[in-house]
Amino acid sequence: MKENVSIMFRDDMWEIERFEGSHKHHIFGGANRKLSEQDGLFIYLTPEMHNMSDAGIHFNTAFMDYAHVVGQRTWQEYYKKTKEDFIKRYGRSYL
């Protein structure tokens, strides 16, 4: 694996750089939180978009699903890996 870097993916929903008041969110949490940190699969969100409102990623299944898809695609492209490689590392595919 490459050195721990925040994988370069961004859109209107999140930032990859910390900003004042932001919350760090690991795209793949739970048992995969450490892997997500190692692989740079984290984003910075406003508190409301993280876990301080119903729109937050922890309570919004569509938002979480979207982050998983973008995270997996980005991981595969960045590390030049396959879906099968992702499954070996993270236990399942989100695509």
d(CA 86, CA 57): 22
d(CA 69, CA 93): 9
Give the rounded percent of residues in the chain with a pLDDT score beyond 90.
55
Residue-wise pLDDT for 4-20, tens only, equals 344 545 555 566 677 88
Supply the pLDDT for residue 6. 47
SS3 73: helix
Query: Which has the closest alpha carbon to 76: 89, 58, 66, 65?
Result: 89
Residues whose CB falls within 8 Å of the CB of residue 12, separated by 6 or more in sequence, listed in order: none
Mean pLDDT by 10 residues, the chain (95 residues): 44 68 91 93 89 91 92 92 98 97
SS3 24: strand
